[in-house]
Chains A and B, each alone.
Chain A
Amino acid sequence: MHEPATLTITAPIATLTLSRPEARNALSIDLLQAMHARIDELTHRIAFSSDVHVVILTGAGKSFCAGMDLKQVLDTPGAPLQLLTLLSTFTVKLRMLGAVTIAAVNGAAIGGGCGLATVCDLAITHADSKMGFPEVDLGVCPAVVAPWLVRKIGAGRARAILLRGGLMSGREALAAGIVNECVETLDELDTAVQRLATRLAVGGPNALRATKVLLNELDGSLDAAMANRGAEISAGVLATPEAQAMLRAKLG
């Protein structure tokens, strides 16, 4: 069977790829479960052989990740909360990895997909990628990603971006602080990502890990209860008649 998330390791760099290109790597329950399996393998490997120092998160095909696959869960009671909780627990695992993480945002990173990029320690994209959090435009609430965006770009900027919804270009994402680097074209992305990963991998692995652990403590990243509460809030809003009607109209 086709594996929806793959892990390739060329020590000291590992690459976790969302591989559901036919659905623009939209986060389905299957995909998120596969992402959990891969990140558990990675966590185990880092803990026991500590030969991976940098992890790249990227998407197969043209998109990075189109966001939550809500169409799949809309008609099954309990499924939205399951999907959102799979995302929230994944974000915490991604943050807790004992390696530096880089989001290589190869294309659209929307909603939860943009959230994944935000959770990574660093993110790179290109000028034409489409990024952002259009949740409020669909009547839903970006509650899972909100704490991560607040941590990354500050509460003031996060407030304006999440309430205004919509999408932005890679260049705008750079100005907002959502990504840390923006190359001109997609063709240049791989080189830039490899250059950054190689440079990071030069750092002392213990120093990198200790620094990351401290940063995680400082910004409250380890608060799993907050992440799960985000999933509950999001699922609660999804269940409102307004959101249901809008999503059904939008998703067909």
Chain B
Amino acid sequence: MIRTEWRTSSPRPVAVVWLDRSDKKNAMTPAMLDDLSSALAAAAERAAAIVLVGAGSTFCAGFDLTLCKDNADALRQLLIGLSRTIRLMREVSVPVVIGAQGAAIAGGCALLAGADVVVTHSECRLGYPVVRLGISPAVNAPFLARSVGHGHTREKLLGGRIFDGREAIVCGLAHELAPTPEQVPGLAMVIADRLAVKPRSGIAATKAWLNELDGCDGWAERALSASLALVGTSEERERLAALRG
């Protein structure tokens, strides 16, 4: 469900990590997030830049909630895995570029706040519609707040509204629009190629300093705890159980 390819056209090694469960809109399972973390860590060993993209028409529909309806522990594992993956994207010394086409919802959208550069398209559907399921998106809040500011973060996490790629550019969550959904992964790869040829010392020092400046890694554990605290509560269990499908 996670697959790593290496760019053959790039002069420096660029790893392309695919979310590859397109029949389920790349909805994430605990195992998939474990594999994603491992793939990112392995790629960082020799890549000069990393691309994260989704196979098929949807970047990522979020957590596979069908696994969580009768199993609170699966939801716990998903939240822990998501937190680890976002932190890892920031910790690696090379730039991480995400290309998100179609939709990036909930946990899928949370991944975006961990990347250094985000490519999408104007009609892409994005958002964090999870409070209505009794799930707290707190796990992503420190990263989103640093990325788009506190005003946008409040509105997007508390309101849970779906917004489009144009709005993602305006609020600063995304940085580049591809003309069509199909061109999103390709554009993300081209941007990664350009980042990969830049001198390593400057890039690594700049990324580390930006991580230190925005200081959100220090909040990651607390944010995860806030999300985990709701898992297994009657509100969360009842709302997930009532979910169709």
Interface residues of A (CB under 8 A from B): 135-143, 146-147, 150, 153-160, 162-165, 226, 230, 233, 236-237, 240, 242-243, 246
* Nearest CB of A to B194, in Å: 7
| A138 adjacent to B202 (CB under 8 Å) | yes
- Name A155's contact: one of B147, B175, B203 (CB within 8 Å): B147
Q: Are B116 and A160 in contact (CB under 8 A)?
A: yes
A143 & B117 in contact (Cβ 8 Å cutoff): no
Cβ-defined contact, A136 with B148, below 8 A? no
Q: Are A136 and B175 in contact (CB under 8 A)?
A: no
**B213 contacts which of A146, A153, A165, A243 (Cβ < 8 Å)?**
A146
* A163-B205 contact given A150-B214, A158-B210, CB 8 Å threshold: no
Name the distance in Å between B200's Cβ and chain A's nearest Cβ: 7
B195 touching A233, Cβ below 8 Å:
no
Q: Which residues of B, 89-113, contact A by the 8 Å Cβ criterion?
A: 95, 113
Given known pairs A154-B172, A233-B209, A236-B205, the reply for A136 and B147 (CB within 8 Å) is no
Query: How many B residues have CB within 8 A of the partner chain?
Result: 28
Contacts of A158 on B, CB cut-off 8 Å? 210
B199 touches A147 (CB 8 A): no
- Report B-chain residues with C-beta under 8 Å of the C-beta of A162: 206, 210
Closest Cβ of chain B to A184, distance in Å, is: 23
B166 on the A face (CB < 8 A): no
Known: A155-B210, A155-B214, A230-B209. A163 touches B201 (CB 8 A): no
A-B contact pairs, 6 of them (CB 8 A): A141-B209, A150-B214, A155-B213, A157-B175, A162-B206, A164-B191
Taking Cβ atoms with an 8 Å cutoff, the residues of B that contact A are 95, 113, 116-118, 146-149, 172-173, 175, 191, 194-195, 198-203, 205-207, 209-210, 213-214
CB pair B117–A163 under 8 Å, yes or no, is yes
B173 touches A156 (CB 8 A): yes
- Contact B146–A165 (Cβ < 8 Å): no
Q: How far is the CB of B181 from chain A (nearest CB, A)?
A: 21
| Known contacts A163-B116, A230-B209, A233-B209, A138 near B199 by CB under 8 Å | yes
> Shortest 7 CB-CB distances between A and B: which pairs?
A156-B147, A139-B199, A155-B214, A141-B205, A155-B146, A160-B175, A136-B202
A residues less than 8 Å from B202 (CB atoms): 135-141, 237, 243
**A63–chain B nearest beta-carbon distance, Å:** 23
Q: Is the Cβ of A143 less than 8 Å from the Cβ of B172?
A: no
Is the beta-carbon distance between A165 and B198 smaller than 8 angstroms? yes
Tell whether, in the assembled complex, residue B146 and residue A156 are in contact, meaning their CB atoms are under 8 Å apart.
Answer: yes
A156 CA / B115 CA spacing, docked (Å): 9
Contact of B210 with A150 in the complex, beta carbons under 8 Å: yes
Contacts A163-B95, A165-B198 supplied; 7 other A-B pairs, CB < 8 Å: A138-B199, A139-B198, A150-B210, A155-B210, A156-B173, A158-B210, A160-B118
Contact in complex: B210, A237 (CB < 8 Å): no
Nearest CB in chain A: distance from B14 CB, A: 14
Task: Report whether B175 and A237 are in contact in the complex, using a CB–CB cutoff of 8 Å.
Answer: no
Question: A156 and B148: CB pair below 8 A?
Answer: yes
Find out whether the CB atom of A146 lies under 8 angstroms from the CB atom of B146. Answer: no
